[in-house]
Amino acid sequence: MDAVSQDSFTVCEHCNSINGPMNKYCSQCSFPIRGSEGEKASFLLTVSSRRRFLDDARQKIKSARTVIFVLAALFFVFGLFVGFAMDDFPSMIVSLVLCLIYLLLAAWCNQNPFGAILTAFIIYVTLIMVNMLVDPETLFQGIIIKIGIIAWLVKGIRSAHEAKGYLRELQNLRAVPVDAE
């Protein structure tokens, strides 16, 4: 068996993987190790743009998480008001439980943003629908705020889904941001 000299192997500039002498692209990250400068620049531009897209998606997820915290605060204040000012303790307990649920969803948003924001959205829309069935006038009370909350949550859901895709692409390119590992 002939021994292959170490000089014939190439170390990838991008991920430091060792590649065979015939490889034009890195076997680990697809970096064009024997490509032109234009191909190398294009690869690095792709990685850079995916990182920017991921950062943008994370900012939108952060906004949706803030909305979940705002919902928790609103349910807390409403629960206290209904319980103590109107002597409606069952409604106070329901509001405080909803506050706790939204706080848990906001905490879960760090580990699974898509699932947490989607769950928050489903709970919020369900509450609007139940209130509408009980009292149809409640649908139009605070409609602008309701639409705003729904829009932020939908944007967060979409961004969380996009972030998953960008992160997957960066993992395939062996260019995962440090905070995502």
Q: 129 and 60 in one domain?
A: yes
Instruction: From residue 39, give the alpha-carbon distance in Å to each of 35, 75, 80.
Output: 6, 54, 62
Band (pLDDT 50/70/90 cuts) for residue 106 is very high
Q: Which token pair is 165?
A: 């895709």
Quick check: 68 and 116 in contact, CB under 8 A? Answer: yes
Q: 92 and 131 in one domain?
A: yes
* pLDDT of 163 strictly over 70: yes
Distance of CA 106 to the CA centre of its chain: 12
Number of domains in the chain: 2
pTM for the predicted model, two decimal places = 0.77
Q: 54 and 26 in one domain?
A: no
Band (pLDDT 50/70/90 cuts) for residue 47 is confident
| DSSP label at residue 144 | H
Range(s) of the domain holding residue 108: 50-176
Band (pLDDT 50/70/90 cuts) for residue 176 is low
**176 three-class SS:** coil
Q: 60 and 23 in one domain?
A: no
Q: 104 and 24 in one domain?
A: no
Quick check: 126 and 119 in contact, CB under 8 A? Answer: no
Percent of the chain at pLDDT above 90? 56
Q: 30 and 62 in one domain?
A: no
Band (pLDDT 50/70/90 cuts) for residue 179 is low
Q: 89 and 9 in one domain?
A: no
Q: 21 and 54 in one domain?
A: no
Q: 8 and 95 in one domain?
A: no
Q: Mean pLDDT, to the nearest integer, of 115-144?
A: 94
Q: 135 and 95 in one domain?
A: yes
